[in-house]
Structure 1
Amino acid sequence: MRIYVTSVFVDDQEKALRFYTEALGFVKKQDIPLGEARWLTVVSPEAPEGTELLLEPDGHPAVKPYKEALVHDGIPAASFAVDDVAAEYARLSGLGVGFAQEPLTTGPVTTAVLDDTCGNLIQIVHTG
């Protein structure tokens, strides 16, 4: 068994697509109209056949309070691996991306937490 699709709830799919592709560097994989929404996924360019991230509309009534609670408590909705957290922090900061947590090293793990502009905190992490 392996993970095929995971999702992050977003307040605007088009804005999310721009952020996740232009800032984070993912590439669009699927874009299928489904009424007012789309089945819209992105993948890592390093693994185009790997796990897809669904940019899922946050229209369900339970989602917005859930997202707000996570952000309030500083809990990331997703975690993405990077080779160098400090370099990625510098690159993304240069693009105007806001961070809730600057790079922090705890033992063999370095993390930083960014605002995805769509109502979520996203963690970038390097272990090793």
Structure 2
Amino acid sequence: MRIHLTSVFVDDQEKALGFYTDVLGFVKKTEVPLGTDRWLTVVSPEQPDGAELLLEPDRHPAAKQYKQALLEDGIPVAAFAVDDVRAEFDRLRGLGVVFTQEPLEMDTVVTAVLDDTCGNLIQIVQHK
């Protein structure tokens, strides 16, 4: 069994696509029109046939409540692996990304948490 697809709820698919591709460096994999929304996924350029991240509209009231509760408690909705958290932190901050947690070393990992501009906190993780 493998992870094929996971999702993040976003408040604006176009804004999310720009952030996840232009800033974080993912690439668009799938875009299928679905009325006013789209089935819109991105993947890592390092694993184009790997797990897809669905940029899912947060129109359902439960999705908005879920996002808000996690955001208020400072809980990341997803974690992305990077080779060097400190280097990625510097690169992203240079692009204007807001971090809610600067690089923090915890046992065998280094983490940082950023705001994806679409209502979510995202953790970046480096395994030492």
Q: TM range, normalised to the smaller chain?
A: over 0.9
**What amino acid does structure 1 have at the position aligned with 2:17?**
L
C-alpha RMSD of the superposition: 0.4
CA distance in 2, matches of 1:12, 1:37: 9
1:65 Cα deviation from its structure 2 partner = 1.1
Which residue matches 1:93? 93
Percent of aligned pairs with the same amino acid: 73
Which whole-Å deviations, capped at 9, do the CAs of 1:35-62 have from their partners, x for residues lacking one? 0110000000000000000000000010
Residue 6 of structure 1 corresponds to which residue in structure 2?
A: 6
Tell me the residue number matched to 1:17: 17
The normalised TM-score by structure 2 is 0.99
Unmatched tracts of structure 2, length 5 or more = none
Q: Distance in 1 between matches of 2:75 and 2:61?
A: 20
User: Which residue number in structure 1 is paired with residue 42 of structure 2?
Assistant: 42
4+ runs of 1 displaced by more than 4 Å? none
Q: Per-residue CA shift, 1:5-64, capped at 9, x if unaligned?
A: 100000000000000000000000000000011000000000000000000000001011
Alignment of 1:1-128 (within 5 A): 1-128=1-128
SS in 2 for 1:87: helix
Q: Could you list the runs of 5+ residues in structure 1 that have no partner in the other structure?
A: none
How many residues in Structure 1 have an aligned counterpart in Structure 2? 128
Counterparts of 1:38 and 1:89, CA distance in 2: 30
